[in-house]
Amino acid sequence: MENAMMAGAAGEEEADTFILWVLIWSELAAFGILIGAFLVASMIAPADFAVARLHLKPAIAALNTLVLLTSGWQAAVAAGKGASVATRRRALVLAALLGFAFVAIKIYEYSTEIRFAGEAAFHSFFELYFILTGFHLVHVGFVAVILLIVAWRPRPANVDLVTTLWHVIDLVWIVMFPILYLV
């Protein structure tokens, strides 16, 4: 009876992990399509994209990269083998707070860029820029809330699931940053 219950729990955990990776790869596919569209559009109108890019703030985006990587570090600490409940909770809360800091910094950055978005020559650039970064920003905000919820009762299986998703969001930003702002 006990063995059957343990096998059931293990099977459930395996199913959760499988669904998580299906979700992650569908997210990576969606972000991949958007990044691909940005690269193609920037080849079609290289001059417009180069000028539009001058209105972005790469220093703020680099700061946000530091914020997100530090958050990722804390998420990894929370998911580390043998971490105590207190360590898990503290690390998850820190990771979530840094996620909210990322959102706040990005909104500030938008406020400095939005006035250029209406210019006809930059329309295509800013449309893709806001879709890509906005889609990413929603993910950061949403999963930061989930991190806080999991921190309340940090079951190892839930910590693993939410931090895995968090690292993938981090990964997407690492790729997006140089492509959108610099290259």
Partner 1 sequence: MSDRGPQQLKKTWMILVLMVLAGMLLSFKVQDPAAPLVLTLALLTLAVLKARLVVLDFLGLRSGSRVLRVGLIAWPLFFALAAAAKALIAAVSLSG
Site string for partner 1, 112-131 (x = CB under 8 A): --------------------
Q: Report CA-CA distances (Å) from 9 to 82, 133, 155.
A: 20, 38, 13
Beta-carbon contacts of 67 under 8 Å, excluding residues fewer than 6 positions away, are: 98, 101, 102, 105
Among the listed residues 10, 22, 66, 85, the single contact to partner 1 using CB under 8 A:
66
DSSP letter for 83, please. Answer: -
Element (H, E) at 105: helix 85-113
> For partner 1, which is the closer residue by CB, 65 or 124?
65
Residue 158 is a binding residue for partner 1 (CB under 8 A): no
- Which residues would be at the binding site for partner 1 (CB under 8 A)? 21, 25, 28, 32, 35-36, 39, 42-43, 46, 50, 54, 58-59, 62, 65-66, 69-70, 72-73, 75-77, 79-81, 156, 160, 163-164, 167-168, 170-171, 174-175, 177-179, 181-183
